[in-house]
Chains A and B, each alone.
Chain A
Amino acid sequence: MIIHVKNLLKRYGDLVALDHLSLDIKEGEIFGLLGPNGSGKSTAINCILSLLRFDKGEIEIFGKKMTPDAYESKRNIGIVMQNVAVFNELTVYENIDYFCGLYVHDKSERKRLVEEAIDFVELGNFKKFHPKKLSGGLLRRLNIACGIAHRPKLIILDEPTVAVDPQSRNKILEGIARLNEQGATIVYTSHYMEEVEQLCSRIAILDKGRVIASGTQEELKAMITLGEKITIEAFSINEHELQQLRELSGVLSVQWVEKRLVIKSGKKAGSLEAVLDFLKTHEIGFGRIYSELPTLNDVFLEITGKQLRD
């Protein structure tokens, strides 16, 4: 295990921020910590990095107990904070060189690593720019370069794509996947389920400081009863017909919202065919049909009864 967290308890007065949180992160994986704002993701990361004191529990990184003075472990960790942590007074190159210099003392080695990091985040044209001259997306990329330039074995990224445009977000996600391919273990926190779905090999969903579900995407989706979500543009339907639809085999729920039928069906129910037959039989006019597989949001919704982005 690269990271082993057991029964972590962190309180802020009466508020329980982390409620006996346990995590095991294996070498070489991209581990996603998914949860709404305030679910305890950043608190967990800060405790793991010994930036925060916790009340109870144990944390091990690289098989060693993590403490504020575990400098050997820290040497192999790269951190990309939620807030961009760079010097406005230094250029892009100087910033990356500085943060790399906290880990790597050899000048020529550092120069090579800094150049690699700049290429990696594609900031070659902005080397001499000061952070204030960079767009939000470029700034985030600089933040990542500062965190990964020293080639750490473990990279922790705490919501690195907040307030980033879609193009930059894609570049960042591609970059993280490449880092993983190069051998780094990644811990990625986000409240964007699409990012976690796209990137992570294993996911833990956090709510109120607790892991409410963890596993691979498939394992998580297998936990819930929802198998398919069908959306049909229907022109008119009465309450009686809706009730009949709800009684079809495998259908879990039916909603009629803004001339759209939203039908949720169970696993392997094959409800789409039955629904279409029903519409034809009752001569209910319909337009486009969409079928979606369950998302992590559906998983979160079914387990907690609320939306991930609430």
Chain B
Amino acid sequence: MPVFNVCLKIFRKNWLSVSIYVVIFLAIAILISATSVSDQPTTFAQKKARIAFIAEEQTPLVKGFRKELSRSTMIVALPDQSEKLQDALYFRQVTYILRIPKGFTENVLSGGNMRLEKTVVPNSIENTYVDLNVDQYWNLARLYATHEPGISQDGLVSRLKANLSGTTPVFMKTENAAKTSDSFSMFYFNFLAYTLSAVLIMGISTAMMVFRRRDLRMRHYCSPLKPTNITMQLLAANLLFAGASWAVLVGFCFLLDPKSIATINMLYFLINSLLFTGCIASLSYLISTVLKSLNAVSAVCNLITLGTCFISGVFVPQEFLNSTVLKIASFTPTYWYVQANTKIAKLTHFSWDHLAPSLYSMLIMLAFTGAFIAVALVIGRRQQATN
């Protein structure tokens, strides 16, 4: 297999220019993996709000309330100074400031006004839990006080404690619920499009252009090797290179985030990236038939990889991109690859109905692959006839 072996040698020769892309990719991937939240909760846990608790009276009932509240919130100690409290809210040291006014306990026990003062960060989900706990505690306190007249505050506190100590178990009905949505895996596989494109175009186009040199092609035609044999050897070498590049780049994902391998989503990420590899390999082959100079490969490689990745949502999520840009991007395989990745990342069920949108994007990628091969073959035939 002399052609196959020489093709591999040429790949090895070009490894330096290719490895630059891999190094940049890995550096960014490592950075992201170090900063990303790796442990997504798989069970339900109530989120604890950070609150400032200011009590203008220290009755047993208020003390009991504070104790009860500390079970479901994180109480941050702050001085009762308006400016400092406002600052704490502004810098999100706390999201909720609760003030118990003087005489509040008396009002509760005597059926008076139960108004509390609160200052909150708007649209905060965890504050809703605080509101629920506050309402629950004081409404229950009034209920006991109304139905058990003469009950002491300490007695009331112990009744409330017993009453509120119960918990409600929450079970997640959907296992592995969208574990990969907005996760490291999704980022990694999206960004993989850039590196994989660069590596394959640089590697395959360069090697194929060497074999397309007219004098070498003529020399091959003079040899007893059949043209189909030469083509098959080149194809095998290119597939090996593409497959090895894919395996290495995907392998890094498992090194950086070993847990990701356990999800079913990963299987589809792998299939999607493998199809993308095939598509870009065929595009690289096409590029080698069109380009005339080896020096142009690097420029064309950067233009194609960066251009398509920018408009297809590899670097910036597609939802932030202009609709016209996305329309243009839809004429590139990278767009469909990112689309499929995004859909796969959100998958929680893997029935046909749920998988269909992702598979549709993959099918379009396959169509691109077919088109690239067909155009490359037509150009190749024409060049052969011209020569």
Q: Does B67 contact A (CB under 8 A)?
A: no
Would you mind naming 8 contact pairs between A and B with Cβ atoms under 8 Å apart?
A51-B218, A71-B226, A75-B224, A81-B218, A81-B219, A85-B215, A87-B210, A94-B9
Beta-carbon contacts of B221-257 to A below 8 Å, as 1s and 0s?
Answer: 1111110000000000000000000000000000000
Please give me the residue from chain A that is nearest to B213 by CB atom.
A85
Quick check: B218 and A103 within 8 Å, CB to CB?
A: no
A residues within 8 A CB of B13?
Answer: 89
Q: How many residues of chain A get a CB closer than 8 Å to chain B's CBs?
A: 27
Q: Distance in Å from the Cβ of B195 to the closest Cβ of chain A?
A: 23
Whether B215 pairs with A103 at a CB distance below 8 angstroms is: no
Interface residues of B (CB under 8 A from A): 2, 6, 9-10, 13, 210, 213, 215-216, 218-226
Q: Which of B9, B218, B222 contacts A89 (CB 8 A)?
A: B9
Contacts of A87 in B (CB 8 A): 6, 10, 210, 216
Whole-angstrom distance between the Cβ of B7 and the nearest chain A Cβ: 10
Known: A50-B221, A89-B13. 4 other contacts (CB 8 A): A51-B221, A72-B224, A74-B222, A99-B223
Residues of A within 8 A of B210 (CB): 87-89
Q: Which residue of A lies closest to B211 (CB)?
A: A87
Q: How far is the CA of A1 from the CA of B215 in the complex (A)?
A: 29
Residue A98, interface by CB 8 Å: yes
Contact present for A74 and B215 (CB under 8 Å) = no
Majority secondary structure of chain A interface residues (helix, strand, loop or mixed): loop
Residues of A that sit less than 8 Å from B by CB: 49-51, 68-69, 71-72, 74-75, 77, 79, 81, 83-90, 94, 98-99, 101-103, 146
Contacts of A98 in B (CB 8 A): 2, 6
A260 to B64, CA, bound (A): 132
- Residues of A within 8 Å of B2, CB to CB, are 98, 101-102
Q: Which residue of A lies closest to B217 (CB)?
A: A85
Query: Which residue of B13, B215, B224 has the most chain A CB atoms within 10 A of its CB atom?
Result: B224
Measured CA separation A74–B225 after assembly (Å): 9
- Contacts A81-B215, A85-B216, A85-B218; A102 near B225 (Cβ below 8 A): yes
- The residue of chain B having its C-beta at the shortest distance from the C-beta of A102 within the complex is B223
Interchain CB contact under 8 A, B220 and A102: yes
CB-nearest residue of chain B to A53:
B385
CA distance A5 to B6 in the complex (A): 36
Considering the complex, give the chain A residue whose CB is closest to the CB of B226. Answer: A71
B222 and A51 within 8 A (CB): yes
Q: What residues of A have a CB within 8 angstroms of the CB of B222 in the complex?
A: 49, 51, 74, 77, 79
Identity of the chain B residue whose Cβ is nearest the Cβ of A130 in the assembled complex: B13
Which partner residue on chain B sits nearest A68 by CB separation? Answer: B221
In the bound complex, residues from chain B placing their C-beta under 8 Å from that of A86 are: 216
Q: How far, in angstroms, from A109 to B215 measured CA to CA in the complex?
A: 27
Shortest Cβ gap from B117 to chain A (Å): 79
Closest 7 CB pairs of A and B: A101-B2, A85-B215, A102-B223, A85-B219, A71-B224, A75-B224, A83-B215
- C-alpha gap A102/B10 in the complex (Å): 17
Residue of A with least CB distance to B227: A68
Determine the chain B residues whose CB is within 8 A of the CB of A49 once the complex forms. Answer: 221-222
Tell me the bound Cα distance from A79 to B2 in angstroms. Answer: 18
Question: Looking at A50, A68, A75, A85, which has the most chain B CB atoms within 10 Å of its CB?
Answer: A85
Q: Known: A89-B9, A98-B2, A98-B6. Contact between A84 and B215, CB under 8 A?
A: yes
**Which of B213, B216, B222, B225 has the most C-beta atoms of chain A within 10 angstroms of its own C-beta?**
B222
Residues of chain A with a CB closer than 8 A to B223's CB: 74, 99, 102-103
Whether A74 contacts B9 by the Cβ 8 Å rule is no
Instruction: List residues of chain A with CB within 8 A of the CB of B219.
Output: 79, 81, 85, 99, 146
Q: Are A69 and B216 in contact (CB under 8 A)?
A: no
Residues of A close to B221: CB separation below 8 A: 49-51, 68
Kindly provide the distance from the CB of A41 to the nearest chain B CB, expressed in whole angstroms: 15
Chain B residues within 8 Å of A77, by CB: 222
Residues on B with beta carbons closer than 8 Å to the beta carbon of A103? 223-224
Look across to chain A and name the residue whose beta carbon is closest to the beta carbon of B221: A51
Distance of A189 from chain B, by nearest CB (Å) = 15
Is A69 in contact with B218, judged by CB distance below 8 angstroms? no
In the bound complex, how far is the Cα of B152 from the Cα of A226, in angstroms?
Answer: 145
Q: Give complex CA distance A50, B222 in Å.
A: 8
Closest to A101 in B: B2
In the assembly, what is the distance between CA of A84 and CA of B218, in Å?
A: 11
Give bound CA distance, A141 to B341, whole Å: 55
Q: Find the B residue at minimum CB distance from A74.
A: B224
Q: How far is the CA of A74 from the CA of B222 in the complex (A)?
A: 6
> CA A72 – CA B225 in complex, angstroms?
10
- In the complex the two chains form, what is the Cα distance from A71 to B213 in whole Å? 22
Q: How far is the CA of A101 from the CA of B10 in the complex (A)?
A: 17
Smallest CB gap from A76: residue in B: B224
- In the complex, the answer to whether B224 meets A90 with C-beta atoms within 8 Å is no
Residue of A nearest to B225 (CB): A102
The answer for the CA separation of A85 and B219 in the assembled complex, in Å, is 7
CB closest chain-A residue, reference B216: A85
A146–B215 alpha-carbon span in the complex (Å) = 13
Minimum CB–CB distance from B11 to chain A (whole Å) comes to 10
**How far is B225's CA from A51's CA once the two chains are assembled, in angstroms?**
14
Chain B residues with CB below 8 A from A81, complex form: 215, 218-219
CA–CA, A37 and B221, complex, Å: 24
Question: For A94, what are the chain B residues with a Cβ–Cβ distance below 8 Å?
Answer: 6, 9
Residues in A neighbouring B225, C-beta threshold 8 A: 71, 102
Chain A residue with Cβ nearest B1? A101
Given A84-B215, A87-B210, CB of A69 within 8 Å of CB of B226 = yes
The residue of chain A having its C-beta at the shortest distance from the C-beta of B2 within the complex is: A101
Among B2, B213, B215, B225, residue most surrounded by chain A Cβ atoms (within 10 Å): B2
A89: B residues at CB distance < 8 A: 9-10, 13, 210
Q: How far is the CA of A51 from the CA of B384 in the complex (A)?
A: 11
User: In the complex, what residues of B have CB within 8 A of residue A50's CB?
Assistant: 221
Min CB–CB distance A103 → chain B (angstroms):
6
Q: B4 CB to closest chain A CB, in angstroms?
A: 11
A74: which B residues are within 8 A, CB to CB? Answer: 222-224
